Amino acid sequence: MNYKAVIQYEGTRYRGWQVQGNTEHTIQGKLEALLSRLEGADVEVHGSGRTDAGVHAAGQVISFRCAKDRNVEEIRTYMNRYLPEDIAVLSVEEAAPRFHARLHAVRKTYVYRIWNDPVMNVFGRRFLAQVEEPLDMAAMRTAAEYLQGTHDFRAFCSLKRFRKSTVRTVEEIGICREGAGVEITYTGDGFLYHMVRILTGTLVEVGLGFRKAESVKNILDSRDRANAGRLMPPEGLMLMNVEYRTM
């Protein structure tokens, strides 16, 4: 039986999503160990994407197969009972036989949160990246307009070697502010390694006056990581939602 589940996690103490041989502290590792114990055999968990160390998720989607036909509520209850307190399973449902959480995702939404104040928000420090100097919201929104659409985003990726296309479609970048809190929301068909954090770093540099909004066009054309902005810290980033076509 093939299953689809929606999970959330605080990534602070984990080394990222993907299983690693030198540590037990990965989200995928925790899920696979627990489901394998439930099944009595190895269970492989596929996520919609690989979040980096320290990155959070409010709506990560996973898929996995169990040989035994189990009630979805039984699976959800079991997982929430034994998972650590910083990982939770929101829902479990039976999926189409060929459903795959990563291969069949068509749209993802990420949010990057910034605390734009010299004094850090103590209670939000694990979910916010601090930028002390004032940010020019209008300039950042202008720069964001150049990044929307279908482009080659190679300049906004940390990988040095590429085996697949770096062309992606970013449908929308929304920037809003409430008090000292700034939220940048990205919706697109997929994102490259570190892409959201580098896009955010570039927008922040525009907001600080270190580069012009129009320079974003040249960064895209250059396809050179050295021309893009800083890599923002992981704690401000959260995967919010993953969408799929009906199968």
Which residues are tagged catalytic?
52
DSSP conformation letters of 65-84: E-SS---HHHHHHHHHHHS-
Which long-range contacts (C-beta less than 8 Å, at least 24 apart) are formed by 167-172? 168/192, 168/195, 171/107, 172/148
Residue owning tokens 């199968």:
247
**Are the C-beta atoms of residues 47 and 62 closer than 8 Å to each other?**
yes
Helix (H) or strand (E) holding 205: helix 195-207
Strand spans (E) along 137-236: 149-152, 167-178, 181-188
The Cα–Cα gap between 100 and 96 comes to 9
Q: To 5 degrees, how large is the angle CA 100–CA 56–CA 47?
A: 10
